[in-house]
Amino acid sequence: MVAVMFMSVALVALVCVLAYTLAIYALPFFVGLAAAQFAYQTGSGLVGAGLVGLFSAGAAFGILAVLFETIRSPVIRLIVALVFAAPAAVAGYALVYGITKEAVPSEIWRQIFCIVGGGFVGLSALARLAAGVDQPAR
C-alpha span between 69 and 71 (Å, rounded)? 6
Q: What is the spatial distance between Cα 119 and Cα 136, in angstroms, rounded to a whole number?
A: 29
pLDDT at residue 6 greater than cutoff 50: yes
Task: Domain ranges for the chain, please list them.
Answer: 2-131
| Measured distance CA(131)–CA(72) in Å, rounded | 15
pLDDT digits 0-9 by tens, 16-67 = 677 666 667 778 888 999 999 999 999 989 999 999 999 999 998 888 888 8
The mean pLDDT value for 69-90 works out to: 84
Give, to the nearest 10 degrees, the angle between helix 74-103 and helix 45-70. 130
Structural contact between residues 50 and 110, judged by C-beta atoms closer than 8 angstroms: no
Give the helix, strand, coil percentages of the chain, each rounded to 5: 90, 0, 10
Taking all residues of the chain, what is their mean pLDDT, rounded to a whole number?
A: 83
Longest pairwise C-alpha distance within the chain: 56
Distance CA 14, CA 22 (A): 13
Q: What is the four-CA torsion angle of 124, 130, 134, 138, rounded to 10 degrees?
A: -130
What is the pTM for the complete model shown?
A: 0.67
